[in-house]
Structure formats: structure tokens, C-alpha cells
Amino acid sequence: MKLVILFALAVVIWSLGVALFRLAKSEGDKARVVRPLTIRIAISVALFLALVLAMLLGWIEPHGVNPA
């Protein structure tokens, strides 16, 4: 589970870097910038939902947080 989380975070950071690079090199083509940002948001939401699901299924245990 930890490797999946680390991989997802690496992809999020990579996607953000791609968007920044394309923004700097872009000549008015906003679609080339929006696509990596959309991917970043989708992966971030999927990672959040996967963490919540893993917590509810008991695969991971939160530390210092008491879910009521």
C-alpha cells in the first residue's frame, strides 16, 4: 500500500512539473497545460478516496486521529 501511495504522489508531482514546463513554453495553447493539471487532480482525488477506503476496510490505521 505504501508503494502505491508513493507512486501516486510521484505521478502527481511529475504531472505538476509537466504543466509548469508546458505553461512556460506555451504559445497560447491552454489545452496542453490543462490536461496535466486535470490528470493531477484526478490522481489526487483517487488517492484520497483510496486512503479513506483503506482506512474503512482496516488495511491502514490512522495515527493520532480518532474517527468517530
User: How do residues 33-53 score in pLDDT, each as one tens digit?
Assistant: 888 889 999 999 999 999 899
- For position 68, what pLDDT does the model report? 62
What confidence category does residue 29 fall into, taking pLDDT thresholds of 50, 70 and 90? confident
Does 40 fall in a domain? yes
Do residues 1 and 22 touch, judged by C-beta distance below 8 A? no
Average pLDDT over residues 9-17: 92
Q: Is 19 exposed, middle or buried (0-12, 13-18, 19+ CB in 10 A)?
A: buried
- For position 43, what pLDDT does the model report? 92
Range of the domain at 41: 2-57
Does 66 fall in a domain? no
Overall number of domains in the chain: 1
What confidence category does residue 65 fall into, taking pLDDT thresholds of 50, 70 and 90? low
